[in-house]
């Protein structure tokens, strides 16, 4: 995620006008964040590096605290301010989540048949692995479901809701969890974790990070067993930019990102 923000200090009414010009850039990958804030009129740059799960607000607090100190401004408790903002965002995500219907209907095809390979040219490949004690997984899925990271993901999942896990390895993601919602609709959760890597490098099970459990997207399993089968992702999955338009229609036509059956 790249953000170039000019005149970020406009919400700081306590900053003198001669200090007001501020150019700031944030480069963020989960667990790896850097921010460079420049005050060109004062030959000053503040660089903040963070390995926090979502270090954006942490970097903001550090930046403003140093700014206050350098320019002799009234000190503000930025830590408390941003902690409150993080808590409010977390509550808002929880309150916006749609609860699975008590009488949720099963998909048009057996859940086991979603264990296939789906592909997108830019986003890569998905191979959902069904999590169920009575289901005998393939050798591939057996390896996936036995990984330390997936065990932690499943420990943070609803055991009674049909669930699929697929590797989804990119700079900011490692796994995707699909939990059944109703009929052919699933909640898709894109996750990042370093648990597998830490285990492989000999650090053990302590200190691992799992991020993304609060962020859900919509996934629709389309045309099961027929020509044109695939998974349609929507609900902000693609991070629509300025000038973009939400897809309209049903099935594949509704997809922000379409993973076609291979």
pLDDT at 247: 86
Answer whether 59's CB lies under 8 Å from 50's CB. yes
- Higher-confidence residue: 195 or 86? 195
- What confidence category does residue 90 fall into, taking pLDDT thresholds of 50, 70 and 90? confident
* pLDDT higher than threshold 70 for residue 95: no
Q: Return the percentage of the chain with pLDDT > 70, whole number.
A: 83
Answer whether 133's CB lies under 8 Å from 245's CB. no
What is the average pLDDT value for the chain, to the nearest integer? 85
pLDDT at 28: 57
pLDDT tens, residue by residue, 164-197: 999 999 888 999 999 999 999 999 999 999 999 9
Q: Cα(123)–Cα(110) distance, rounded to whole angstroms?
A: 26
Determine the angle formed by the axes of helices 56-71 and 78-96, rounding to 10 degrees: 160
pLDDT at 142: 96
* CA quadruple 218, 221, 223, 226: dihedral sign: positive
- What confidence category does residue 86 fall into, taking pLDDT thresholds of 50, 70 and 90? confident
pLDDT tens, residue by residue, 115-162: 999 999 999 999 999 999 888 889 999 999 999 999 999 999 999 999
Tokens of 134: 């009575």
Helix, strand, coil shares of the chain as percentages rounded to 5? Answer: 30, 30, 40
Tokens of 99: 């609860």
Q: List, in sequence order, the alpha helices (H) in 72-162.
A: 78-96, 139-145, 148-155
The mean pLDDT value for 189-215 works out to 89
* pLDDT higher than threshold 90 for residue 34: no
Answer whether 258's CB lies under 8 Å from 232's CB. yes
What does DSSP say about strands 32-39 and 23-29: parallel, antiparallel, or unpaired? antiparallel
* pLDDT higher than threshold 60 for residue 4: no
Per mean pLDDT, which range of 31-45, 57-71, 214-228 is the poorest? 31-45
60-64, 67-71, 166-170, 241-245, range with greatest mean pLDDT: 166-170
Q: Cα(258)–Cα(260) distance, rounded to whole angstroms?
A: 6
Q: Cα(8)–Cα(15) distance, rounded to whole angstroms?
A: 11
- Higher-confidence residue: 55 or 160? 160
pLDDT at 26: 61
* CA quadruple 56, 61, 64, 69: dihedral sign: negative
Answer whether 234's CB lies under 8 Å from 255's CB. yes
């Amino acid at each position: 995620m790249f953000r170039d923000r000019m005149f970020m200090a406009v919400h700081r009414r306590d900053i003198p006008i001669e200090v007001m010009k501020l150019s700031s850039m944030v480069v963020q990958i989960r667990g790896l964040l850097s921010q460079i804030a420049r005050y060109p009129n004062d030959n000053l740059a503040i660089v903040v590096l963070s390995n926090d799960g979502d270090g954006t607000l942490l970097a903001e607090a550090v930046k403003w605290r140093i700014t206050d100190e350098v320019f002799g401004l009234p000190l503000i408790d930025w830590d408390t301010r941003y902690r409150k903002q993080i808590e409010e965002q977390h509550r808002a995500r929880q309150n916006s989540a749609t609860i699975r219907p008590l009488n949720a209907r099963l998909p048009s095809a057996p859940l086991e048949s979603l264990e296939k390979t789906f592909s997108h040219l830019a986003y890569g490949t998905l191979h959902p692995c069904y999590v169920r004690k009575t289901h005998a997984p393939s050798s591939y899925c057996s390896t996936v479901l036995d990984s330390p990271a997936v065990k932690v993901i499943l420990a943070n999942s609803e055991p009674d809701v049909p669930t699929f896990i697929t590797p989804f390895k990119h700079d900011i993601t490692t796994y995707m969890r699909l939990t059944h919602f109703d009929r052919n609709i699933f909640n898709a959760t894109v996750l990042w974790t370093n648990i597998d890597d830490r285990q492989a490098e000999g650090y053990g099970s302590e200190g691992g990070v799992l991020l993304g459990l609060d962020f859900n997207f919509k996934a629709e399993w389309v045309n099961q067993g027929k020509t044109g089968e695939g998974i349609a992702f929507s609900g902000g999955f693609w991070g629509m930019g300025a000038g973009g338009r939400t897809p309209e229609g049903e099935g594949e036509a509704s997809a922000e990102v379409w993973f076609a059956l291979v």
